[in-house]
């Protein structure tokens, strides 16, 4: 124990985002399109710098080009309610989960020329009928970096939960989306007990568990009641 106490402490935490000890050189030798339907599927031939400082031999990686997406956790700070959606997901079906209908946050792909915030508001209206007021940015995350280029920006969106409910979505696109209103406690308990298997919804709820009360106070200001 005494030995550990005498070890020098790091004066400054390592910046893991801009760590210059990481390899940086990447050489893309070839791009082959394997499929080009709703999403584009490519095979890249790459050489990358190794941690030893040399370039690797050529190797292949497949990547699904799905593009930028937005997730928004809908929150009514006055009623202290969170709004999630429920819909069929083929990933849940092929993995034989107990139900192929899973809980998620409102989400969608960013259209060309559209901002993330505009996407969040459009998808909230299409999938729940709610109009988003303020948006709080949580962060941007790669959903499956070993397979896809999808970069997801996650927000909390302020809404009036009294306007939510029912079934929404574009029927022509096979969408059949049910809106579910939870108390904050119910939604966080669902995440804690494994009822939320969508990773981006989990990220949003975990963030909200840590920062939701501070956000509520920020949005409601002097009008807040403990």
β strands within the chain, DSSP E: 26-36, 40-48, 59-65, 68-76, 81-88, 101-104, 106-109, 135-142, 151-158, 167-168, 177-183
- Give CA–CA dist 70/105, Å, rounded: 10
Is-contact 213 77, C-beta < 8 A?
A: no
- Give CA–CA dist 44/29, Å, rounded: 8
Count H helices and E strands in the chain, helices first.
5, 11
Angular region, 80: left φ>0, alpha ψ -120 to 50, beta rest: left
- Give CA–CA dist 218/207, Å, rounded: 16
Other CB atoms within 10 A of residue 40 CB = 15
Phi then psi dihedrals of residue 155, to 5 deg: -130, 160
Q: Which of 25, 123, 136, 173 is catalytic?
A: 173
| 173 is a catalytic site residue | yes
- Give CA–CA dist 27/46, Å, rounded: 6
3-state secondary structure labels for all residues of 74-96: EEECCCCEEEEEEEECHHHHHCC
- Known catalytic residues are 173
């Amino acid at each position: 124990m005494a030995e550990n106490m005498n070890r020098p402490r790091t004066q400054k935490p390592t910046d893991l985002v801009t760590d210059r000890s990481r390899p940086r050189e990447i050489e893309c030798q070839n791009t082959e399109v394997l499929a080009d339907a709703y999403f584009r599927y490519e095979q890249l031939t790459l050489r990358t710098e190794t941690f030893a400082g040399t370039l690797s031999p050529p190797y292949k990686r497949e990547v699904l080009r799905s593009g930028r997406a937005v997730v928004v956790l809908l929150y009514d700070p006055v009623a202290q309610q969170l709004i999630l959606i429920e819909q069929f997901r083929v990933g849940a079906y092929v993995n034989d989960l107990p139900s192929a209908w899973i809980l998620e946050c409102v989400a969608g792909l960013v259209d060309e020329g559209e901002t993330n915030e505009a996407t969040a508001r459009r998808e909230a209206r299409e999938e729940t009928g709610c109009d988003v007021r303020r948006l709080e940015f949580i962060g941007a995350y790669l959903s499956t970096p070993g397979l896809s280029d999808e970069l997801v920006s996650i927000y909390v969106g302020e809404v009036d939960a009294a306007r939510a409910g029912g079934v929404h979505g574009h029927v022509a696109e096979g969408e059949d989306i049910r809106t579910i209103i939870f108390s904050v406690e119910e939604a966080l308990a669902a995440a804690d007990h494994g009822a939320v298997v969508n990773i981006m919804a989990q990220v949003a709820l975990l963030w909200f568990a840590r920062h939701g009360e501070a956000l509520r106070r920020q949005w409601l200001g002097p009008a807040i009641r403990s």
